[in-house]
């Protein structure tokens, strides 16, 4: 009998994060795999198993476990996806919104650089999307409607890695979430939020099933190959020129999309993993 570790964050109490390992354990059991859900800890890093499903984002723990067993997703993929700017830089194979990186600042009390804001403003215009490089559930994504708001965000985020991005107005409050397993789009939903430009379900967005077309299939495969992902959720903005890749989640929650589409994402991922390790 094969053994697996499902590693979760040391501190999380979030329902979404606790549902994910439970569902994976269930589906792996149906395939004859005994999986142990463990919180990130020194003992978990030393546990013996045939493979590990890594549902944390702790890049150090990922590297440590990967020395001893196959990690789903791989440590490098998790690290790239956990940083929106690194994801943007890695994904030059697909269309994305125009994006400018913040610059590293380690001088205490450095003033915000007006010339930099001028440049961002003239390239991206208003409203402008500002995102922290690390963030999820729409919580670290902001909209600057004018120079005063841009300046206030830039000041607040001076010491936090972040990026500035063109606001895709025609996609405001709407996007398409695609769940990919082994580079294949296995489930897809459109998310809409009438009250906010962020369509995340956790920010009030509502999901409905959305058909997987040829372009979605192509993007799923390109993104997964480029970022070496076994599993991911891709957010696609609906621009006048077609889909734009907004972000890639290596640990995308599948509870919401399973409910909306009726597709058993956990089963599909478990099945893929077993084929990979055989």
Residues that bind ligand ADP (CB under 6 A): 97, 129, 131, 135-138, 141, 165-168, 171-172, 175, 197-200, 235, 237, 246-247
Min separation Cβ 50 and ligand ADP, Å: 31
Considering the rule CB under 5 A, would residue 83 count as an interface residue with Mg ion? no
Say if residues 36 and 6 touch (Cβ distance below 8 Å).
yes
Structure tokens at 48: 């013996």
C-beta of 250 vs 261, nearer to Mg ion: 250
Min separation Cβ 86 and ligand ADP, Å: 13
Piece in contact with Mg ion (CB under 5 A), picked from 8-16, 185-193, 234-242, 259-267:
234-242
Piece in contact with Mg ion (CB under 5 A), picked from 19-27, 151-159, 163-171, 243-251:
243-251
Range list of H helices, the chain: 15-30, 42-46, 59-66, 75-81, 84-90, 114-124, 147-156, 214-226, 255-261, 265-277
Among 56, 132, 235, 258, binds Mg ion (CB under 5 A): 235
Min separation Cβ 200 and Mg ion, Å: 6
List the single partner that 83 binds among ligand ADP, Mg ion, none, CB under 5 to 8 Å by kind: none
Considering the rule CB under 5 A, would residue 82 count as an interface residue with Mg ion? no
Min separation Cβ 150 and ligand ADP, Å: 15
How many chain residues are in contact with Mg ion, going by CB under 5 A? 2
Q: Would you tell me how many other CB atoms lie within 10 Å of the CB of residue 235?
A: 19
Contacts of 148 (CB under 8 A, 6+ apart): none
DSSP per-residue letters across 211-245: ---HHHHHHHHHHHHHTT-SEEEEEEEEETTEEEE
Min separation Cβ 199 and Mg ion, Å: 8
Say if residues 97 and 237 touch (Cβ distance below 8 Å).
yes
Rounded CA separation 278/276 (Å): 6
C-beta of 52 vs 141, nearer to Mg ion: 141
List the single partner that 171 binds among ligand ADP, Mg ion, none, CB under 5 to 8 Å by kind: ligand ADP
C-beta of 82 vs 247, nearer to Mg ion: 247
Say if residues 129 and 166 touch (Cβ distance below 8 Å).
yes
Contacts of 229 (CB under 8 A, 6+ apart): 73, 74, 77, 81, 180, 183, 223, 248, 250
Min separation Cβ 208 and ligand ADP, Å: 15
Q: How many helices (H) and strands (E) does the chain have?
A: 10, 13
List the single partner that 24 binds among ligand ADP, Mg ion, none, CB under 5 to 8 Å by kind: none
Q: Summarize as ranges the residues that interact with Mg ion (CB under 5 A).
A: 235, 247
């Amino acid at each position: 009998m094969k053994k697996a570790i499902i590693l979760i964050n040391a501190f999380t109490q979030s329902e979404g994060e606790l549902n994910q390992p439970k569902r994976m354990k269930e589906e792996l059991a149906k395939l004859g795999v005994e999986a142990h859900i463990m919180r990130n800890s020194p003992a978990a890093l030393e546990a013996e198993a045939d493979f590990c499903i890594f549902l944390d984002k702790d890049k150090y723990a990922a590297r440590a476990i990967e020395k001893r067993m196959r990690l789903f997703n791989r440590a490098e993929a998790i690290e790239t996806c956990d940083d929106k700017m690194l994801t943007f830089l890695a994904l030059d194979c697909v269309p994305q919104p125009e994006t400018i990186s913040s610059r590293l600042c380690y001088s205490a009390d450095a003033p915000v650089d007006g010339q930099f804001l001028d440049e961002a403003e003239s390239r991206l215009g208003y409203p402008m999307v500002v995102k922290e490089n690390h963030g999820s559930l729409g919580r670290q994504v902001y909209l600057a409607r004018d120079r005063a708001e841009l300046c206030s965000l830039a000041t607040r985020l001076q010491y936090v890695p972040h990026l500035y991005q063109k606001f895709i107005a025609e996609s405001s409050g709407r996007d398409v979430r695609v769940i990919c397993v082994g580079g294949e789009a296995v489930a897809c939903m459109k998310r809409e939020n009438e009250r906010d430009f962020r369509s995340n379900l956790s920010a009030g967005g509502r999901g409905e099933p959305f058909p997987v077309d040829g372009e979605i299939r192509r993007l799923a495969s390109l993104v997964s190959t480029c970022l070496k992902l076994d599993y991911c959720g891709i957010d696609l903005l609906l621009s006048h020129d077609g889909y734009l890749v907004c972000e890639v989640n290596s640990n995308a929650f599948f509870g919401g999309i399973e409910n909306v589409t009726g597709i058993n994402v956990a089963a599909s991922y478990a099945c893929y993993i077993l084929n990979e390790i055989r």
